[in-house]
Amino acid sequence: MPHDHDGEERRALQRKAYGREASLTDAEARRLHELEHALRESARPEATAERSARTAVRDTGPVDGARLDGMRAGEVQPPVTRGVLDEESTAAASVAEEPMTESAADEAAPGIWRTLRSHGKPVAVASAVLLAIGLGAGWALFSPRASDIPLSAEEVERKLELYTAQKFDDGSLRAVARDGDALVWFATKSAPEPQSCLTLDVGEQSSINCVTDDEFATFPLNASISVPSDEGGSMGGSSVNATGMLTTAGEVMVAINRWNYDDSMLDQFEGEEKVRAQALIDEGYQPGMSLIGHFRGEPVWVADRFTDTGSMERCLIVDVVDASKCAAPDNSGKQAPIRLSSGDADDSPWSLTVEFTGWGMPYLTITEGPTGGSLVVIDTESGDPIEVQVPVDPAG
């Protein structure tokens, strides 16, 4: 029979091995294996029967030689004593006679030893077992998931605001990534069509992008924010980008990237275009601008800038006519097309439209109308010249 101090040592090592934070050394693991092996060996039917016999001898006083010889030979004799002790010894012996697997021995052996060694009521043993099971089940059912991101009170309030403003599906909104002051949320929408949405919050700024579930299954989902520098001014600052994609198991995986704006961002441009890009930065546009085409030999740009309220807007800039037009993303994070066109009085009407892909990449469409011809006619009566505009057939 294992000594009491062995049981205490085993239980202490089991708590370290199977508790919330396993922290066994190699030596402790070997020792725990030895103690558990000894416990399993002691729970075998032959060993248990012999212990029952010894228990009966110790607790009932002297017995005759024949009975003692039978006990030594492994034959279990009925105990002589009466009352509670008789019932406990008989119950322990009956349990030991049943076949027991190794896993069952691990679970049942401590209960058997408590029954054999204790003279208390069986209900106390059952209560202790139920208490242990209850504690284990409670931790398994109510412990937080490792993937959960703890939220502050302000972030919990922000979560409620997003539910109200964006009409996300109930229970779908959750925080999926954090990097410093950047927090990324993921949610789904059912109306007007199934959509997946990524929300990036950085300080007081926010960017939301939603795409259909079919698009999200094929392409990454992006949201980005430009953060001004602490010193203020148009130059400097950083860009924060969140990219979400689906794993092969259908789980959402999110990466947060940051990069700082500096003078090297202008190295993508050359000559007069580089000079013009610097001039746009001086006017308040963010350095991460894009040259998306040319119209009548001059550059066409897309650039971001902060409004007076601190929100971000995207602008179409057409150098040849020295004009620009800006628009902010809508509530779903979608950037609507931006269009610049000539007035009706222009002799050569034109239209420039920049649209954005699901990834947020811009593409430019240029439309120019035909130019009407003119004809000078001399009035035969007065002799005065009359200028007549002759429309041109669009079909040629």
197 Rama sector, left if φ>0, alpha if ψ -120 to 50, beta otherwise: beta
pLDDT digit string (tens) for 151-208?
Answer: 999 999 999 999 999 999 999 999 999 999 999 999 999 988 899 999 999 988 898 9
User: Distance (Å, rounded) from C-alpha 1 to C-alpha 4?
Assistant: 9
pLDDT of amino acid 59: 46
Burial of 293 (0-12, 13-18, 19+ CB in 10 A): middle
Task: Provide the Cα torsion 232, 236, 237, 239; round to 10°.
Answer: 150
User: Distance (Å, rounded) from C-alpha 301 to C-alpha 352?
Assistant: 11
Q: What is the largest CA-CA distance in the chain?
A: 158
pLDDT of amino acid 339: 93
Q: 242 pairs with which residues across the strands?
A: 223, 256
User: Distance (Å, rounded) from C-alpha 197 to C-alpha 358?
Assistant: 12
Count other Cβ atoms within 10 Å, centred on residue 150: 8
Q: 253 pairs with which residues across the strands?
A: 245
For residue 240, what is the enclosing H or E element? strand 238-246
Q: In tens digits, what is the pLDDT along the chain, a chain of 396 residues?
A: 555 567 788 777 777 666 555 566 767 777 877 887 777 777 665 555 555 555 444 444 444 444 444 444 444 444 443 334 344 444 334 434 444 433 343 344 444 444 434 444 444 444 444 344 343 333 333 333 445 789 999 999 999 999 999 999 999 999 999 999 999 999 999 988 899 999 999 988 898 989 888 888 888 888 888 787 666 554 557 788 899 998 888 889 999 988 776 666 778 889 999 999 988 987 878 877 899 999 999 999 999 887 766 677 899 999 999 999 999 877 666 788 999 988 644 557 889 999 988 777 888 999 987 655 444 444 555 555 555 555 555 454
pLDDT of amino acid 371: 54
SS3 237: coil
Q: Are 196 and 184 in contact (CB under 8 A)?
A: no
DSSP 8-state secondary structure symbol assigned to residue 263: G
Q: Are 337 and 355 in contact (CB under 8 A)?
A: yes
Pairing of strands 182-189, 174-179: antiparallel
User: Distance (Å, rounded) from C-alpha 113 to C-alpha 111?
Assistant: 5
